[in-house]
Amino acid sequence: MNALSSTTPDLSHLRADFPILSETIRGKPFVFLDSAASAQKPAVVIDAMTHTMRHQYANVHRGLHWMSERTSDAYEGVRDKVAALLNAASREEIVFTGSSTGAINLVAYSYGALLRPDQAVLISEMEHHANIVPWQMLRDRRGIELRVAPVDERGELDLGAMEALLADGRVGLVSITHMSNVLGTVTPAARIAELAHAAGALLLLDGSQAAVHRPVDVKAIGADFYVFTGHKLYGPTGIGVLWARHALLEAMPPFMGGGDMIGSVSFERSTWAEVPHKFEAGTPPIVEVIGLGAAIDYVQAIGMGTIQAHEAGLTEHALARLGAVEGLRVIGEARTRGGVISFTVDGAHAHDIATLLDRNGIAVRAGTHCAEPLMRRFGITSTARASFGIYTTTQEIDVLADTLDRIRSFLV
């Protein structure tokens, strides 16, 4: 059985770029289907980071010496790579944070400070906790209202309901995932931008998943803020990105105070550095930024469009194969989706499924996937989730489906 269409690019040759994929688990080949939680790293990323620490490392921005200047160049060069990846208007619109979580908290704090207490923030039922909790904290701090747009039975955003929630013009910011880490749903970002702007609201997109699986053009979308996290884009942990329109970054107060984010400091008052440095207090994750740059070079060389087509083929194949497993229910059937598939198996707990798959060398995630409200929406407590990356093969999906078929008899 092979649902792959002839236009699906075969990227299996890339597997050799990822040293960890040749590991064996309990004597079995390592079948890694948990990229949505964190992706594996190609050797070019690992090498860029070790090369930096071995040969070209000093603190950035402060030193006038050779080593600091070279490191600063490498660090600042990544800002250009990120700007190109997202089609940002300028490199100054790119702020390095610690993660997507760090980036959303920055916006909640700094843009949140510009919202009036009688305004609201609109999120959706399918948000990751990272795009829920910072807004609850803002609500508790500033008294703003938190509104939640519903998700329909297919796992798509209910745009009609969203429009109704925007109708009174009190929503200052819409903060929505660009792709669900549970359902795989890709949200209609440009349409949401239109709806938000028509109601006088700005739009933040949580691109933690989308930026990994498809080309992103923040200008074409018409977004105001976009965030993603390095470790899901084949880069290291400890590095995330906030893109925001320049005028917004100018207007927003800083998030954290400290070194590197100031113009001048006296005990009476301090002035802020230019954007984006105003938002990068303290020594940044230098090695991690350089690692992210290598990861971006790597995916850009393959092409985000090619990656998207590869994963679309895998997803189609996986939906067909998993759909044929007795008692298995895929949660979410959005018409536009990426390579993340959550499922339940009748009579079996997701943790038991994951444990039995693990005995066979297959890594999937089980639980609430940092999206407890979404679990409640679908009347379940947890799911098992298989997620794909550029190195995932149809053979691995077949191993998953065959193994699920086999272990079902132990589970029910």
Ligand X SMILES: *Cc1c(COP(=O)(O)O)cnc(C)c1O
Q: Which of residues 96-115 bind ligand X (CB under 6 A)?
A: 99-101
Q: Is 176 helix (H, G, I), strand (E, B) or coil?
A: strand
The least distance separating ligand X from the CB of residue 324, rounded to whole angstroms, comes to 28
At closest approach, how far in Å is the CB of 103 from ligand X? 8
- Which of 238, 244, 249, 242 lies closest to 291 in space, CA to CA? 238
Active site residue 370: yes
**Cβ distance to ligand X smaller for residue 171 or 374:** 374
Smallest distance, Å, CB 34 to ligand X? 12
Antiparallel, parallel or unpaired: β 31-32 and 28-29: unpaired
Q: Which of 61, 79, 81, 128 binds ligand X (CB under 6 A)?
A: 128
Binding status of residue 209 toward ligand X by CB under 6 A: yes
**Closest residue by Cα to residue 388 from 396, 380, 398, 376:** 396
Pairwise CA distance, residues 373 & 378, whole Å: 9
Residue 206 as a binder of ligand X (CB under 6 A): the answer is yes
> Hey, what are 210's tokens?
């989308």
Binding track, positions 11-50, relative to ligand X; x by CB under 6 A:
----------------------------------------
DSSP letter assigned to residue 257: -
Q: Specify the residue, 61 or 232, whose C-beta has the smaller distance to ligand X.
A: 232
Kindly state the DSSP code that residue 295 receives in the 8-state scheme. H
Judged by CB under 6 A, the stretch of 55-63, 126-134, 281-289, 318-326 that binds ligand X is 126-134
Q: Does 382 bind ligand X (CB under 6 A)?
A: no
CA–CA separation, 110 and 222 (whole Å): 21
Q: Which residues contact 244 (CB under 8 A, 6 or more apart)?
A: 93, 95, 107, 224, 225, 226, 252
Q: Tokens 């092979």 — which residue? A: 2
Q: Does 130 bind ligand X (CB under 6 A)?
A: yes
Q: Taking a C-beta distance cutoff of 8 angstroms, is the pair 96, 121 a contact?
A: no
Smallest separation (angstroms) from ligand X to the CB of 37: 7
Q: Which is nearer to ligand X, 130 or 299 (CB)?
A: 130
181 binds ligand X (CB under 6 A): yes
Binding site for ligand X (CB under 6 A): 99-101, 128, 130-131, 177, 181, 206, 208-209, 229, 231-232, 240
Q: Which residues form the catalytic set?
A: 370
